[in-house]
Each structure stands twice: as structure tokens, then as C-alpha cells.
């Protein structure tokens, strides 16, 4: 049963209008269709990004931390440790050669004069003409033996004996030469003086092969640092300490008149009094004072 509605009860409504042609409600805005490019993917939470927290200042961007800076190691003296390609040329580094040298030195020692062997050292002797020579310094109870040993032929060539109670002074310091000298010498050295009452004659000072000089100078051997054994055997400061202690003991047991106070321990520059030094320049440059493998010839 159709019901007729009074138009007066619904003002603004025309019964002839259909629902399909009714005007949209102006109070509701149309909802736009989502953009497929920016629409969120179902099942995934949106990326919050680096949005700043409300009420706080944005955090400035900083470069990545590169880590702690490397600490530079101590500078190495180039004259102390040689490259391995040059170290292997020294015959003293051959297994058993240094021990064989000590056996030969013990056979040369005189128990009545020298006593027992206390310590042995591999050093380089620098003579009064600035020439280098490979030496074994043996400290006994009563003597300092400076031995020249051929590590290639395994033979003891010479051995100088210096009574410990004749040693006057031990001087440690920087090696220097006269201002106008052609020779060059750097580094630290140890000079051993004995028989201070005797002056070296003029002919001996100008003879590069003379052994009649009442002092000698030692520096560290080039193979120092090659192995643990040779690192200790080539320590010049330890050699000085052992020699100073042995000298003091020798003075206490057998003092020499006029030297009752023992040897002086000094720290000052060591002057090598050579000017031209052509012989030492050629010898030291080619290390002729060492037992080396030189191609097909070793000496």
C-alpha cells in the first residue's frame, strides 16, 4: 500500500527526483584514489627514516671514525741492522762458526796468565787509521784478548793480550774526526786505553798496520740484530759494563803501582786522528775487514 507523503512535511524534497540524481552532500569531501607509486605495500611498515624527535635539535651528520692514529715506532739506525740479503754473506752467521772460534781461543789461552774465560763478544775494531776489522773480544779473569778470527777458514789468525790491571780508562762517546778530514765516521764507540805512561811513537801513528798503539776503539758489529744470540753478543754497552767490572776486580787482586784507583770511566767524544784516510775509505766501503762471501771468492 503506497503511502503518500506530504511535501509540506519535507521541505526541499521533490518527490519526482530519484536517488540516483540527488545532489551530493556538501559536508563530505570526496576521498581521492590512492597513487600506486606511493601507496604502502600491504604487510610492510613504512620506513620512519631519520625524522627528528619533536622537541629536540637534529643530530648533525659526522664522518665515520677512522680509528686511532697509528703510533710511529722508534727510528731505526740504518747502520745497525743490515738487510737480510747482506747479512747472509757474513760467515760468522753460519751455524757453529762462533762456537768453533771460542774453542780455538780457549786453546790459545794461558791459564796461568789469563785465568778462566768470563765472557766473549763479537765487535768491530777501529784502528788509529779508521780501518774496521772483525774481532772477538774475550774477557778473562786477568786479560782482555782481542782476537782476529777467519770465519771462512775457521782459523785463529792473531790474538793480542792486554792485562786488565794495565787498562787506564774506558771512554764511551760519539766518534768524531778532524774538521778537514776526508774520512767519515758516525755512531757510538768505546775506546780502551792502557799503558798511559808510554806515548805512541811517530812512526807507529803514521803506519796504518802498526799494533804499537796503546789504545784501541770498538764499535758494534754489523750483524747485531740478525739473531737473538748475536743481538746480545754485539751489545757494546754490555761489553763496556762487563769489561769495567773485570778491570775493577783485576785492580783489587793485583794492583799496579801508580794505578791504585783503578780505571777511569769517561763519557766524551772519541777523536780518530786521521785526515786523508784513502786506505780506510776503500777498506770500509768494501768491508774488507770482515769474513764475507764475495761472489765466487770469500775473505
User: Mind listing the pLDDT tens digit of every residue in the chain (299 residues)?
Assistant: 444 444 444 455 454 444 444 444 554 455 555 554 455 555 544 554 555 555 555 555 555 554 444 433 333 343 446 787 788 899 999 999 999 999 999 999 999 999 999 999 999 999 888 889 999 999 999 999 999 999 999 999 999 999 999 999 999 999 998 887 767 778 999 999 998 766 766 666 667 667 788 999 999 999 999 999 999 999 999 999 999 999 999 999 988 877 767 789 999 999 888 766 677 778 778 889 999 987 654 44
CA distances (Å), 179 to each of 79, 115, 268, 269, in order? Answer: 22, 44, 17, 14
For 23-58, what is each residue's pLDDT tens digit? Answer: 445 544 555 555 544 555 555 445 545 555 555 555
- Give CA 79 to chain center in angstroms: 11
CA gap 120, 106 in Å, rounded: 11
The three cell numbers locating residue 158 = 792473531
- Per the CB < 8 A criterion, the answer to whether 208 and 131 are in contact is yes
CA gap 217, 132 in Å, rounded: 10
* Dihedral angle, C-alpha 224, 219, 162, 237, nearest 10 °: -70
For 91-138, what is each residue's pLDDT tens digit? Answer: 999 999 999 999 999 999 999 999 999 999 999 999 888 889 999 999
Amino acid at each position: 500500500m503506497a503511502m503518500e507523503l506530504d511535501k509540506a512535511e519535507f521541505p526541499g524534497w521533490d518527490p519526482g527526483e530519484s536517488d540516483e540524481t540527488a545532489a551530493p552532500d556538501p559536508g563530505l569531501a570526496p576521498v581521492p584514489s590512492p597513487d600506486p607509486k606511493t601507496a604502502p605495500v600491504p604487510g610492510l611498515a613504512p620506513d620512519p627514516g631519520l625524522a627528528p624527535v619533536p622537541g629536540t635539535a637534529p643530530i648533525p651528520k659526522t664522518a665515520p671514525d677512522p680509528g686511532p692514529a697509528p703510533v710511529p715506532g722508534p727510528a731505526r739506525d740504518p747502520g745497525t741492522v743490515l738487510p737480510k740479503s747482506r747479512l747472509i754473506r757474513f760467515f760468522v752467521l753460519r751455524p757453529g762458526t762462533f762456537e768453533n772460534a771460542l774453542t780455538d781461543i780457549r786453546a790459545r789461552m794461558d791459564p796461568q796468565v789469563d785465568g778462566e774465560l768470563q765472557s766473549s763478544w763479537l765487535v768491530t775494531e777501529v784502528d788509529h787509521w779508521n780501518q774496521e776489522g772483525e774481532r772477538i773480544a774475550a774477557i778473562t779473569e786477568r786479560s782482555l784478548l782481542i782476537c782476529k778470527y777467519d770465519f771462512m777458514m775457521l782459523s785463529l789468525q792473531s790474538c793480542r793480550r792486554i792485562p786488565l790491571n794495565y787498562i787506564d780508562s774506558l771512554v764511551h762517546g760519539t766518534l768524531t774526526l778532524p774538521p778537514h778530514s776526508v774520512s767519515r765516521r758516525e755512531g757510538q764507540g768505546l775506546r780502551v786505553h792502557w799503558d798511559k805512561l808510554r806515548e805512541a811513537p811517530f812512526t807507529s801513528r803514521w803506519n796504518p798496520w802498526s799494533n804499537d798503539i796503546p789504545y784501541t776503539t770498538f764499535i758494534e758489529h754489523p750483524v747485531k740484530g740478525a739473531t737473538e744470540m748475536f743481538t746480545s753478543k754485539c751489545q757494546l754497552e754490555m761489553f763496556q759494563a762487563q769489561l769495567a767490572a773485570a778491570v775493577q776486580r783485576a785492580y783489587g787482586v793485583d794492583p799496579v803501582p801508580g794505578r791504585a784507583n783503578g780505571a777511569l770511566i769517561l763519557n766524551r767524544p772519541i777523536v780518530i786522528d786521521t785526515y786523508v784516510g784513502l786506505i780506510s775509505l776503500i777498506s770500509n766501503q768494501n768491508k774488507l775487514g770482515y769474513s764475507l762471501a764475495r761472489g765466487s771468492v770469500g775473505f
